[in-house]
Amino acid sequence: MSGNDYVKFMTQEIVKYMDLPEDERKKRKEQKKQQEAISSRWFGMLPFALKFMFKKHVK
């Protein structure tokens, strides 16, 4: 994908987003926040557990 194609694609996506009604944009943001919270909860525990395990072995 060349640079011009990428700029064209991003411009189209921005225009689509701006054409949506404001309440629809708010709904999308809320749904995205809920999805991020679920995924970060699961992936957030693995690094914490590894950090905790390595700290325990160092002492």
C-beta of residue 4 within 8 angstroms of C-beta of residue 12: no
46 phi and psi, to 5 degrees? -65, -50
The reported pLDDT for the residue numbered 7 is: 94
Q: Would you list the domain boundaries of the chain?
A: 1-58
Higher pLDDT, 45 or 17: 17
pLDDT tens digits, residue range 5-40? 999 999 999 999 899 999 998 998 888 777 665 655
Distance CA 20, CA 13 (A): 11
